[in-house]
Amino acid sequence: MIEQSAKPSPSPAENAPATVSVEELAARGRERRRRQNGFVLGAQVLIGIALLAGMYALNATSGKLIMPRPDDVLAQSIKLWSDGTMLKALGESLTVLVIGYAISIVSGILGGALLGGFHYLSRVLDPYVNALNSTPGAAFIPLIIVWFGLYTEAKVVLVWNAAFFPILINTAAGIANANRELLEMGRAFGARRRELFWSVMLPDALPSILSGLRIGAAISTVGTVIAELTMAQSGLGGLLAQAGNRFQMDKYFAVVIVLMALGTAITALLRYAERRIGRWRITS
């Protein structure tokens, strides 16, 4: 990439009719990209409009219990945001989400590093990790309720239980499968185990760890809503249950939109982090 540079054709006389200036080529490229972007954006807007129109149509034919009118959803959103209900719920949900996710990050990466770094440990614990990972997270809800109650602690435990395993397994796999050639290089230059771990294994595992974190974040959001629906109703999940139980579908949709935005924002944030940290990787 560095070696490439835009050079004019060496013998302009030979292929004079075909010569194009660099500026013109760049302009053409810009134009082509602009048109493509415009097309993609236009299609997206069209689909959005179609969805809204579909909502109106469904509302007109089947009533507001099946589908609320989009403008009612908007009105409800404004109401919930302005009287502080939504903000309070969002705060409660984020508390559970952030604490549970943070604990699963710390414990998942530490545990994964141990499993990945110590071959025997991972061989011994493998059946247990597999069994726990294969059990549906929801199966633990009654046990968590008995052990930790119905409030924030129990919800945090549920979120941790859901997000811990993808982080653990991805970290362990990334470290255990660190590039053998680079490890041999490190050893040949006299690196000891500790130096190999910090300078070769961990950085080499970083992409794998980050994808574990991304999966964990997505599962954390799911876990938060499930906890708020099944334990003491609180946060966005509680709001969802409240609205649903009373068939207030406009309110219900207003909450769903917030959850959508929350999930999207978390994923976008982690994508950004992945790109920042992985900037040494081949990008084209």
Partner 1 sequence: MTEPVISLRHVGKLFGDGQVRALHNVSFDVRPGEFLSLVGPSGCGKTTLLRIINGLITLEEGSVTVMGARPEPGPDLAMVFQSARLLPWRTISGNIEFALQLRGHDKAERRQRALALLGAVGLRDFADAFPHQLSGGMQQRVGLARALAVEPRVLLMDEPFAALDAMTREVLRKELLQMWARRRMAIVFVTHDIDEAVYLSQRVVLLRPRPGRIDEVVEVDLPEPRWERDPRPTPEFTALRNHLWDRIHAMAREGEALEELAGAFPMEAIEKPRR
Q: Which residues bind partner 1 (CB under 8 A)?
A: 1-3, 181-182, 184-191, 195, 199-200, 203-204, 206, 280-282
Write down the least CB distance from residue 66 to partner 1, Å.
53
Write down the least CB distance from residue 196 to partner 1, Å.
10
Taking the C-alpha atoms of residue 86 and residue 256, their distance in angstroms, rounded to an integer, is: 11
Task: Using the minimum distance from each CB to partner 1, give the nearer residue, 72 or 204.
Answer: 204
**Element holding 169 (H helix, E strand):** helix 152-176
Task: Using the minimum distance from each CB to partner 1, give the nearer residue, 200 or 213.
Answer: 200
DSSP code, position 200? I
Write down the least CB distance from residue 279 to partner 1, Å.
8
**Among 113, 218, 131, 208, which residue's Cα sits nearest to residue 170?**
208
Write down the least CB distance from residue 9 to partner 1, Å.
23
Taking the C-alpha atoms of residue 133 and residue 244, their distance in angstroms, rounded to an integer, is: 31
Task: Using the minimum distance from each CB to partner 1, give the nearer residue, 23 or 181.
Answer: 181
Task: Using the minimum distance from each CB to partner 1, give the nearer residue, 146 or 282.
Answer: 282
Cβ count near 256 (within 10 Å): 15
Tell me if residue 157 falls in helix, strand or coil.
Answer: helix
Write down the least CB distance from residue 202 to partner 1, Å.
10
Task: Using the minimum distance from each CB to partner 1, give the nearer residue, 186 or 235.
Answer: 186
Task: Using the minimum distance from each CB to partner 1, give the nearer residue, 80 or 205.
Answer: 205
Write down the least CB distance from residue 190 to partner 1, Å.
5
Taking the C-alpha atoms of residue 108 and residue 114, their distance in angstroms, rounded to an integer, is: 10
Centroid of chain to Cα 283: 21
Tell me if residue 67 falls in helix, strand or coil.
Answer: coil
Write down the least CB distance from residue 175 to partner 1, Å.
15
**Among 227, 196, 243, 274, which residue's Cα sits nearest to residue 100?**
227
- Please provide the distance, in angstroms rounded to a whole number, between the alpha carbons at the two ends of the chain: 9
Task: Using the minimum distance from each CB to partner 1, give the nearer residue, 6 or 282.
Answer: 282
Whether 115 and 125 have beta carbons less than 8 Å apart is answered as yes
Tokens of 273: 């982090």
